[in-house]
Chains A and B, each alone.
Chain A
Amino acid sequence: MEMIREIRKSPFHALPVEHRPGTPILETRGLSIRFENRLALDNITFQLNTSERVAVVGPNGAGKSTLFKVIAGVLPYTEGEVNIYGSGPGGHICIAYLPQRNQVDWEFPVNVIDVVMMGRIGKLGLLHWPGRKDWEYAQQCLEDVGMGDLAKRQIGELSGGQQQRMFIARALAQEAEIMLMDEPLTGLDISSQEKIFEILDELQHRGVTVMIATHDLDQAAGRFDHVMLLNHQLMGLGKSEEVFTPDNLRKAYGGHLKQVQAGNGLYLVADTCCDEGER
């Protein structure tokens, strides 16, 4: 029965639903998700506009990855609504979720262009092998992130920054209009981060909407249009001056935040790091 229901529910390589004109690229209303008896996301309401670049910050386990997965239509939610161009995420193939690098099997026997080609599968359809045009498209996506010469490289031989750019190339191959990047900058050196920011500028230029989970409050404040402060509840979304108030930050980070008064500036030290053990 399960299988029959599956077949009915999802025609192989489903046709993407239409984008309703005049609707925002992303909108959530009263979005909640419950695991067992714990609220992972609690009544989240917000809206993003096309080509916005938003940093999502919050302590470990705040629900950043969960929020991304719900928006991508990978995790089911308990209450509320998520709409991409006016309809639920389940019918769209224009949403890219870029996984945390430590969630990926880098020993997997594929090379860089194979991974980029995976993004094209939604456009290729069933029983179609990628043709010359598709390989050219994938190659172009790699050029766009400055990795044209690494197409045949085994993925395990890439540096952290290159791994991240490969996933952006895959999202480009998917022709994604909204990219959800799960901690792309964590663990990268400054020059690798700068390369990513150059690509992010280009994405913005092309009208791609980007949400990035990060732990770096300073970078979030300095390099993004808007910041989102999240700890199960939405503590604020907007310009960093308005959102990163000592009050909000204390509410989001609780005891993990140290406020340091130095000279005439107030420094905030968020005591969290990298690996989120959430779903």
Chain B
Amino acid sequence: MNLWDLLISPLNYAFMVRGMVAAILVGIVCATVGTFIVLRGMAFFGDALAHAILPGVAIGYLVGEGARQPLFWWALVAAVLTSIGIGTISKGTKIREDTAIGVVFAGMFALGIALISTVRNYTVDLSHFLFGNVLGVSTGDLWLNAIFGGLIILTVLLLYKEFLLLTFDPLLAVTLRLPARLLEYLLLVLIAVAIVVSLQTVGVALMVAMLVTPAASAYLLTRRLPIMIVLAALIASASGIIGLYVSYYAGVASGAAIVLTCTFFFLMVWIFNTARKKYG
């Protein structure tokens, strides 16, 4: 079997093709919002938010008796509510923001597991929610993900200069009388939607890697924000494709394979960058 056959033969399966498309889509969407997460130091928030949508997923799972569509909508509601909730709690109380996030995150995650565990033989489905099941993506899922992913990209494009300003210098955003709080919440909601779009591909437990790792690699490679977003999207999409091949041939869980490829890319970039600083 030559290299060409190695690359082509998995694509004879429709589920592999759908998985590839989903992985590319998730790569682009996560990298776009992930760039802002990295620059604002919100990695913990992203991780927490991904975990905190589990109760929503669980309710969708119980209501829809295993059907896919209700999962998406319930997860979306849970994600948006949680992101706004965390945003409000952390601003309104004496408790430090990361503490507030920790409290909400663990509680919601436990609630999700508790709900799912009421169903008999729940372990397989639970593991899909936690670690993803990209090869189970249907054409309908793809369309839904593409529409919401497209909305995220469109919003970031339209409000690019506002998000850039808010991230670099929130005080200037206020003195220019932009609705800084509203933009802040909007960004949280975008992150929430990106997480829901990526839910089937990597699952909640590994989500933060898709949000942060490609953007962190791109951060090391460039000093321009638009280029950073594009590079992050390229790295994430490439990781998605390579990860799926690895998963196919090595029999590794797909979500883990994708995330490990992202991590590998990051290590390469980091080594390259360190060497360049030292010797170049």
- Tell me the A residues contacting B by CB distance below 8 Å: 2-3, 6-7, 9-10, 12-14, 16, 69, 72-74, 90-93, 95-97, 99, 104-105, 108-111, 114-115, 117-119, 121-122, 124, 126-127, 129-130, 154, 156, 170, 174
Contacts and interface: CB of A to CB of B under 8 A. Distances in A.
B179 A12 contact: yes
Nearest to B177: A14
Nearest to B172: A118
Given A109-B219, A110-B224, A124-B161, A74 B175 contact: yes
B276 to A, nearest CB: 15
Interface string B161-176: 1101101110110111
Interface residues of B, number: 29
A118 B169 contact: yes
Contact of B171 (A2, A69, A121): A69
A100 to B, nearest CB: 11
Contacts of B185: 2-3, 6
B172 A97 contact: yes
Given A12-B179, A121-B178, A99 B223 contact: no
Interface string B64-84: 000000000000000000001
Contact of A104 (B161, B165, B169, B223): B169
B223 A7 contact: no
A7 B168 contact: no
Contacts of A174: 176
A109 B222 contact: yes
A111 B175 CA distance: 21
A114 B164 CA distance: 10
Contact of A154 (B158, B169, B176, B223): B223
B201 to A, nearest CB: 27
Given A108-B39, A110-B223, 19 more contacts: A6-B181, A7-B182, A12-B178, A12-B179, A73-B174, A91-B177, A99-B171, A105-B39, A109-B219, A109-B224, A109-B227, A111-B224, A114-B225, A118-B164, A121-B161, A121-B178, A122-B176, A127-B158, A156-B223
The 9 A-B pairs with the shortest beta carbon distances in the complex, nearest first, are A122-B176, A10-B179, A154-B223, A6-B182, A14-B177, A109-B225, A74-B174, A109-B223, A118-B165
12 contacts: A10-B177, A72-B174, A72-B175, A73-B175, A90-B177, A93-B175, A105-B39, A109-B223, A110-B168, A118-B161, A121-B162, A130-B161
